Amino acid sequence: MIQRADDYVLLCDGPKVALTTRSRAHLDDSFWQQFVRDRRLFLWDTDIMLNNLASGLRWFDVTRVATAHRHGDLLIRREAGAFLFDVIQDEVASTIAMCEWKDGRLCPVPIYSSLKCDVILWEHLIDYWNDVYRQAVYDVYGLYAHGWAYHTLLLVYELFDAGKYDYARETLKSAVARAKMEGDDELVAKFENLEQQLLAR
């Protein structure tokens, strides 16, 4: 399947690189929305997720490249103190990323191209996951993943899922009052909307 260049992600771990897609690297909202919607699924361990991802990727050590090397869909070219990464689709190579070689590791440098992809250092991947998770929370609840409103919302869902409907409803009504006392009309509307949704279920 032809991928758009911005669907690709180049992961760098020291001298190793792996070309993958945003979805395989868990960088799309849809993956995280399942955890947002059901807290019982939220048992993921980042170490295990990182290990699973790392073992499922085809890594290549760029220090083995003399001038150019083809590694699956990835063509790695060495030029002066940098590496250029081309993706090959239909035998056409397009440069999607570039990294400098510094102190035994790859450091991404910006390229000016409409075909570039994200270059993510392995040690920063968890930060990206946190960002995507927060975005997924916002997409689902319209709230950022912090603060009393978010925690109260999760509690309401948990109570509702546990069949404690009275507790869930009274907590929601109290949350509406708190949002009103804080003068946050947007939050009042969100909680009232949620109350209607839960009542409908």
Partner 1 sequence: MRDIIICDKGKVTFANPDVWHLQNDNWFSEPRSAAQWREDCENELQRLCQSHYWIDVWSLPGDVSLPYDKRLTRVGQWCISRIDETCDDGRGVRQLVIFTYSDGRIILETPTYMRGEDDRLIKLVPGMKEYDDSWGFDDKGWLFHLEDVPRIWNDLYQRRLINEVASELLSLSMTLNWQGGMARLIIRLVNAGNYDDAMQVAACASARFEHEEWPEDNLFAVVHRKMMKVLVTNEL
Residues near partner 1 (CB under 8 A) are 148, 151-152, 155, 159, 166-167, 170-171, 173-178, 180-182
Toward partner 1, which CB reaches closer, 83 or 191?
A: 191
Our CB check for partner 1 shows the closer of 85 and 141 to be: 141
In 36-109, DSSP assigns E strands to: 60-61, 68-71, 74-79, 82-89, 92-102, 105-109
Of the pair 83, 157, the CB lying nearest partner 1 is at: 157
Listed in sequence order, the residues at least 6 apart from 115 whose beta carbon sits closer than 8 Å to its beta carbon are: 5, 87, 94, 95, 96
Tell the smallest beta-carbon distance from residue 180 to partner 1 (Å): 6
Residues 12, 106 contacting (CB under 8 angstroms): yes
Cα 30 from chain centroid (whole Å): 9
Q: How far is the CB of 49 from partner 1 (least distance, A)?
A: 14
Choose between 4 and 146: whose C-beta lies nearer to partner 1: 146
Q: Least distance to partner 1 from the beta carbon of 137, Å?
A: 17
Give least dist CB 88 to partner 1, A: 37
- Measured from the CB atom, is 127 or 182 closer to partner 1? 182
Q: Least distance from C-beta 172 to partner 1, angstroms?
A: 9
The amino acid that residue 89 corresponds to is Q
Strand 118-121 to 8-13 pairing: parallel
Q: How far apart (Å, rounded) are the C-alpha atoms in residues 153 and 165?
A: 14
Tokens representing 97 are: 């990323």
